[in-house]
Structure 1
Amino acid sequence: MVRVRVAAFALLSLAYPLVVYLSLGRFEPRWLSLLLFTLAALRALTTRQAVWWVAALGTGVLALVATAFNQALPLKLYPALVNAVMLVIFATSLRFGPSAVERLARLSEPDLPPFAVIYTRRVTWIWCGFFVLNGSLALATALWASNQVWAFYNGLLAYVMMGALFGGEWLVRRRVKAAHAHG
């Protein structure tokens, strides 16, 4: 059951900008806020981390505002909120350790060598930069861009950028591992 909730949350989160874009003009924002509230509820049910409970609360507030004022802006702010939460998670891990990327790396390689710990810390910094950039662009598109531009950026371009970062980091990681295997 937990896997179904996690999968539903992931699918709904990925499709969220497209669903909102296709629904604007067809449904009032107050009805679309049900989608946003569903995201908040699914996230709260699929996590044990306090930060995601706070994010779910923030998402619930956005949904409530969209419902109360029947405005689309709170619905469009959700991607910026997600980036802000991810930034907090990654940045906090840099302060209190281990870094978020180190934690992920240890899932597949529990005994990381010292060079890998340093590398994962640097990658965590890069992701923090990504979340600042992506969150800023998500906020800017929500506040000042058309619905089409908002949906294009948040529903496609942001994912392409994220994929490019994942792919680029994977290539660099291979080179770093190879350099340390020969050294």
Structure 2
Amino acid sequence: MSRIGAAIFVVLSVAYPLVVYWAMGRFEPRWLAVLLLVLALLRAVATRQAVWLVAAAGATLLALLATVSNEALPLKLYPALVNAVMLAVFATSLAFPPSAVERIARMTEPDLPPAGVVYTRRVTQVWCVFFVFNGALAVATALWTSDRVWALYNGLIAYVLIGTLFSVEWLVRRRVRARHSHG
């Protein structure tokens, strides 16, 4: 995928809940399913990894369900699908090391020390818990709250939580590194 295609995918993915919320009163859900189908196709083109192809297939299924039923619920379940896929990626990496966070860490620090491997495994576990929590809230907001609450949670609050987790992990990592470099 080109850089432009990748940028379009990221922008559409991040803005998805807000775009769907804005468009819900203006367009029928079957027409909004086009956005989800575009995301699925961009994901399929961008990857050769099985998990992301499954994610693209899941998004396509949600888009088809929204098209056939002309209901918004399948469109609102996309954030839950994303969390389920991320959970699968991170949890699978715990069963079949290296962990997802270790792989990311080795991009900048190829000679990760044993303590770093243990730390990255723990961080991967934390992200797994986060994806369960965030995915459950994505499902709950899709099923049992208003469209406004769904969009607020999935289009803003979830991103604030992700940013908070990244920030807290960065602060913890600095302390762990300082402790290991002095000890």
TM range (shorter): over 0.9
Q: How many residues align?
A: 183
Unpaired segments ≥5 residues, structure 2: none
The residue type equivalent to 1:86 in the other structure is: M
Partner of 2:108: 108
Partner of 1:52: 52
Separation (CA, whole Å) in 1 of partners of 2:178 and 2:46: 37
Q: Which moved more, 1:94-103 or 1:2-11?
A: 2-11
The residue type equivalent to 2:49 in the other structure is: Q
Query: How big is the shift at 1:130?
Result: 0.2
Query: How big is the shift at 1:60?
Result: 0.1
The residue type equivalent to 1:164 in the other structure is: T
Q: Alignment partner of 1:27: what SS?
A: coil
Partner of 1:99: 99
Separation (CA, whole Å) in 2 of partners of 1:66 and 1:8: 22
Q: Which 4+ stretches in 1 moved above 4 angstroms?
A: none
Separation (CA, whole Å) in 2 of partners of 1:49 and 1:107: 19
* CA deviation profile, 1:135-178 (whole Å, cap 9, x unmatched): 00000000000000000000000000000000000000000001
| Aligned 1:142-161 pairs, distance under 5 A | 142-161=142-161
Partner of 1:129: 129
The residue type equivalent to 2:121 in the other structure is: R
Query: How big is the shift at 1:120?
Result: 0.0
Q: Which moved more, 1:40-49 or 1:171-180?
A: 40-49
Q: Alignment partner of 1:44: what SS?
A: helix
Separation (CA, whole Å) in 2 of partners of 1:30 and 1:54: 22
Partner of 2:139: 139
Give the TM-score of the pair, scaled to structure 2.
Answer: 0.99
Q: Alignment partner of 1:112: what SS?
A: coil
Unpaired segments ≥5 residues, structure 1: none
* CA deviation profile, 1:61-83 (whole Å, cap 9, x unmatched): 00001001100000000000000
Separation (CA, whole Å) in 2 of partners of 1:47 and 1:123: 25
Query: How big is the shift at 1:180?
Result: 0.5
Separation (CA, whole Å) in 2 of partners of 1:6 and 1:174: 31
The RMSD of aligned alpha carbons is 0.6
Q: Alignment partner of 2:110: what SS?
A: coil
| Aligned 1:163-178 pairs, distance under 5 A | 163-178=163-178
Partner of 1:24: 24
Separation (CA, whole Å) in 1 of partners of 2:105 and 2:8: 25
Separation (CA, whole Å) in 2 of partners of 1:49 and 1:6: 16
